[in-house]
Amino acid sequence: MVALDIVRAHNASLKTLPPNLVAVFVGGTSGIGFFTAREFVRTTTSPHVYLIGRNATEASKIMDELNSINSSSQVSFIQKDISLLKNVDEACSEIKSKEEQVNVLFMTCGYLTMKGRDETAEGLDRKMAVQYYARMRFISQLTPLLNKASETGNLSRVVAVLDPQAGLRLGGLDYSDLSLRHNFSLKNVLLHASSMTSLSMAHLANQNPKTAYIHEYPSGVETGVTRELFGRFNDTVMSTLGGLFRRFLFVPQVESGERHLFAATAPRYAPKADSAKTDVIGSDGVKGSGSYLLNWNGDILADTKKAQKLREEGGLDKVWGHTQEVMGKIEESGRF
């Protein structure tokens, strides 16, 4: 476990980085995205922050809070339903029109549901779209800006908060139906979104050796993630659970933000090009390979035989190839 005082000392040192760092929080209107954006704004000089989500009322409150924490920050809200890749493209176009580089792409978009397959107008399941395909589309569209940051010697990092443990534990992907059009179940969504995120990030770390890629498990955190399950009772349910079990169940919200900011910025999670500068083991079992699977406390999650098998059977290329095919078809014809 990375001790909290180490996390805090590192985060405080971000003040010494160049000003005007740019961070994009996909899912910054609630929960872990918001908690992390708040720490980023607190600890950096003149940051540019983009919050992406649907809820304009929450975004407006968060923008006021972030501006009051750091009056040198520039905070923008881009209102989009990112379950459609065309909306992801519009959000990225807006960022590209304003910024030359992106230092941190931090993605927490997601939700819990008990519903079955829910097809979007682009032919993807909505949960797979929000938790996997939209995230990969953000990475693809913003890679030139992440590369620009790394070429000028600045921080360049992608963080996806989901559940790397599911893929490590469960293994086994259905390569003939990666999007789960035919074999949909909530367990398969968990498995596919988790493993596909880990494998794609490992692929991307090889392609872009100056950017680091992190797939992170947040542990329990009191957030809005159960909103679709409990509807208007969500806040009551979460605060009752929190009241009863806070000390045992949940990472405190501020600590969660601090730890995720550490994951998004600490040099120990080095890009592949800087592998000589770290002893941390990447997701392929190799020191400093540029993609890392992290537990909530900053520890590396140990490799498993099931994850090894996915890599040995060519999972990195197969999953990224499929992802490009999905993105290409939607770009060409609006549907996969």
Ligand X SMILES: NC(=O)c1ccc[n+]([C@@H]2O[C@H](COP(=O)([O-])OP(=O)(O)OC[C@H]3O[C@@H](n4cnc5c(N)ncnc54)[C@H](OP(=O)(O)O)[C@@H]3O)[C@@H](O)[C@H]2O)c1
Among 14, 33, 38, 202, binds ligand X (CB under 6 A): 33
Nearest to 159 by CA among 260, 284, 301: 260
The count of residues in the chain is: 336
3-state secondary structure of 333: helix
Which two tokens mark 313?
Answer: 């059977």
Residues 138-167 that bind ligand X (CB under 6 A): 161-163
- Give the β-pairing of 212-216 and 104-107: unpaired
Residues 100-139 that bind ligand X (CB under 6 A): 108-111, 130-131
Which two tokens mark 213?
Answer: 């890629």
Sole window of 8-16, 145-153, 215-223, 298-306 interacting with ligand X (rule: CB under 6 A): 215-223
Instruction: Please tell me the distance from the alpha carbon of residue 81 to that of residue 83, in angstroms, as a whole number.
Output: 6
Among 54, 181, 311, 329, binds ligand X (CB under 6 A): 54
Instruction: Please tell me the distance from the alpha carbon of residue 314 to that of residue 298, in angstroms, as a whole number.
Output: 28
Among 47, 164, 167, 218, binds ligand X (CB under 6 A): 218
Q: State which residue, 130 or 168, has the beta carbon closest to ligand X.
A: 130
Sole window of 9-17, 182-190, 219-227, 235-243 interacting with ligand X (rule: CB under 6 A): 219-227
Task: Write down the least CB distance from residue 87 to ligand X, Å.
Answer: 8
Should residue 284 be labelled a site residue for ligand X when binding is judged by CB under 6 A? no
Instruction: Please tell me the distance from the alpha carbon of residue 309 to that of residue 312, in angstroms, as a whole number.
Output: 5
Should residue 29 be labelled a site residue for ligand X when binding is judged by CB under 6 A? yes
Should residue 31 be labelled a site residue for ligand X when binding is judged by CB under 6 A? yes
Start-to-end CA distance of the chain, whole Å, equals 42
Residues near ligand X (CB under 6 A): 27, 29-33, 53-55, 81-83, 108-111, 130-131, 161-163, 218, 220-221, 223-225, 227
